[in-house]
């Protein structure tokens, strides 16, 4: 109990202005019981924002400017935009607008605003522990924006394989991003685990045929479960790679709370 309380105090003192890391801190404060679970897969398919990278403050700033410009409620727009290609949100909210022009404006703002873009807990460690060719990223960002955020967060070198909104016809919650992510690694989706934080991404992962590991960095447990998460953990600090005795398999340990 005291360990959880100490962790909460530390996180809050370091990240008091960061809503994503405040959510992680709150989860740690409430935690009293832990158990470890061993799971297996052949590859991991990561979302970017909210899983590997915390870009929440930057995203909120850009979409707030856009929402105010068009007379929308900023908090509702930010919530709707999370985990989806930005052009999909624009099409929903401004069906008669020049979608490409609006999307370019939003993307430009997100590329220019990298203040507070940092790696989420455990992200650097898990990527360093995974063998090359056994993981990739499937993000709703454009390739240019994804590369900017990866560099800003220090998740270098740049991943060899990555699926972005430029590579798909249908974004999350459609399964296409995760189907293509599994394909470029050469594994069937059923042998992969998708790591997601957003309900749209969880639904995309489940629809692809993969199992889904959800993180509590964005949504609450009931929404993660309802979206189809197989397991829920606080963040990637609760995921470890261990040596595998199985051909082509990854053995993982989840610290479930």
Check if CATH label 3.40.50.1000 holds for domain 34-54+117-256. Answer: yes
Q: Which DSSP state fits 189? A: G
Helix (H, G, I), strand (E, B), or coil: what is residue 11? Answer: helix
For residues 150 and 28, give the distance between their C-alpha atoms in angstroms, rounded to a whole number: 26
For residues 207 and 196, give the distance between their C-alpha atoms in angstroms, rounded to a whole number: 13
Q: At what angle do helices 19-30 and 56-70 cross, to 10 degrees?
A: 130
For residue 199, what is the enclosing H or E element?
A: helix 199-208
- Residue tagged active-site, from 49, 54, 191, 197: 49
What is each CA distance from 101 to 94, 98, 107, 143, 183, in whole angstroms? Answer: 12, 5, 10, 17, 32
Average pLDDT over residues 4-10: 39
Does residue 197 have an active-site annotation?
no
Tokens of 179: 């189907």
Confidence of residue 80 (pLDDT cuts 50, 70, 90): confident
Residue whose token pair is 């189809």: 228
What is each CA distance from 148 to 89, 115, 118, 138, in whole angstroms? Answer: 21, 12, 12, 15
- Residue tagged active-site, from 47, 113, 191, 235: 47
- Which residues lie closer than 8 Å to 44 by C-beta, 6 or more apart? 130, 134, 135, 192, 193, 195, 250
Average pLDDT, the chain: 87
How much is the pLDDT for 247?
Answer: 63
Residue-wise pLDDT tens digits, 93-145: 999 999 999 989 999 999 999 999 999 999 999 999 998 899 999 999 999 99
Residue-wise pLDDT tens digits, 22-58: 555 454 444 445 689 999 999 999 999 999 999 989 9
For residues 204 and 199, give the distance between their C-alpha atoms in angstroms, rounded to a whole number: 9
Q: Where are the domains of the chain?
A: 1-32, 34-54+117-256, 56-112
Does residue 47 have an active-site annotation?
yes
């Amino acid at each position: 109990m005291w360990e959880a309380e100490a962790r909460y105090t530390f996180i809050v003192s370091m990240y008091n202005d960061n809503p994503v890391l405040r959510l992680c801190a709150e989860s740690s404060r409430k935690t009293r019981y832990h158990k470890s679970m061993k799971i297996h897969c052949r590859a991991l398919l990561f979302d970017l924002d909210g899983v590997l990278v915390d870009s929440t403050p930057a995203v909120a700033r850009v979409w707030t400017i856009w929402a105010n410009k068009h007379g929308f409620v900023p908090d509702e727009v930010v919530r709707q935009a999370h985990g989806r290609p930005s052009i999909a949100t624009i099409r929903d909210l401004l069906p008669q607008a020049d979608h490409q022009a609006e999307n370019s404006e939003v993307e430009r703002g997100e590329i220019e605003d990298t203040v507070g873009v940092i790696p989420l807990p455990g992200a650097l460690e898990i990527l360093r522990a995974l063998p090359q060719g056994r993981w990739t990223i499937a993000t709703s960002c454009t390739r240019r924006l994804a590369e900017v955020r990866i560099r800003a967060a220090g998740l270098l070198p740049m991943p060899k394989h990555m699926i972005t909104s430029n590579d798909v016809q249908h974004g999350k919650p459609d399964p296409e991003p995760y189907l293509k992510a599994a394909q470029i690694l050469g594994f069937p989706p059923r042998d992969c685990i998708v790591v997601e934080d957003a309900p749209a991404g969880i639904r995309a992962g489940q629809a692809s045929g993969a199992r889904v590991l959800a993180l509590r960095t964005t949504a609450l447990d009931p929404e993660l479960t309802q979206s189809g998460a197989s397991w829920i953990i606080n963040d990637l600090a609760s995921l470890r790679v261990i040596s595998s005795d199985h051909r082509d398999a990854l053995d993982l340990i989840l610290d479930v709370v």
